[in-house]
């Protein structure tokens, strides 16, 4: 049931704010479902694929997608995802956790300013 609630929250925030994986789903999996960092990130990526398809279709039905811009951003992001997954496997879990926490803190600080 925790995973269902986490999924609902991630989907809501994804559609509402354009976020879901790294900023919502991973922290919820770590804190709410006791996942360790790597499985939380991998599970998040798989879930975000589903969330993105449904969200994209919904936004497309409202005429709110620019396909050319999505391709220009999305195709290089695929390369970045492969590189990020490879790097993530090489980093120590502690380093990964601190880097992720610093990333979230920087986003939070920037949004407050």
Q: What is the pTM of this model?
A: 0.73
Is residue 93 within 8 Å of residue 36, measured between CB atoms?
A: yes
Secondary structure of the chain: what % helix, strand, coil (to 5)?
A: 85, 0, 15
Task: Reduce the DSSP state of residue 100 to 3 states and report it.
Answer: helix
**Residue 88 pLDDT exceeds 80:** yes
Each residue's pLDDT tens digit, 20-69:
777 888 888 999 999 998 999 899 889 888 888 888 999 999 999 999 99
CB 22 within 8 A of CB 44: yes
Q: Where are the domains of the chain?
A: 2-112
Closest by Cα among 112, 104, 110 to 22: 104
Question: How confident is the model at residue 7, as a pLDDT?
Answer: 82
């Amino acid at each position: 049931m925790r995973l269902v609630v986490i999924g609902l929250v991630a989907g809501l925030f994804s559609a509402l704010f354009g976020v879901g994986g790294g900023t919502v789903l991973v922290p919820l999996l770590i804190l709410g479902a006791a996942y360790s960092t790597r499985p939380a990130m991998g599970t998040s990526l798989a879930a975000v694929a589903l969330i993105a398809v449904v969200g994209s279709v919904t936004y497309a039905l409202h005429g709110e997608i620019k396909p050319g811009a999505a391709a220009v951003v999305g195709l290089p992001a695929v390369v970045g995802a492969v590189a990020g997954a490879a790097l993530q496997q090489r980093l120590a879990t502690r380093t990964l956790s601190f880097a992720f926490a610093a990333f979230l803190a920087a986003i939070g600080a920037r949004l407050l300013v």
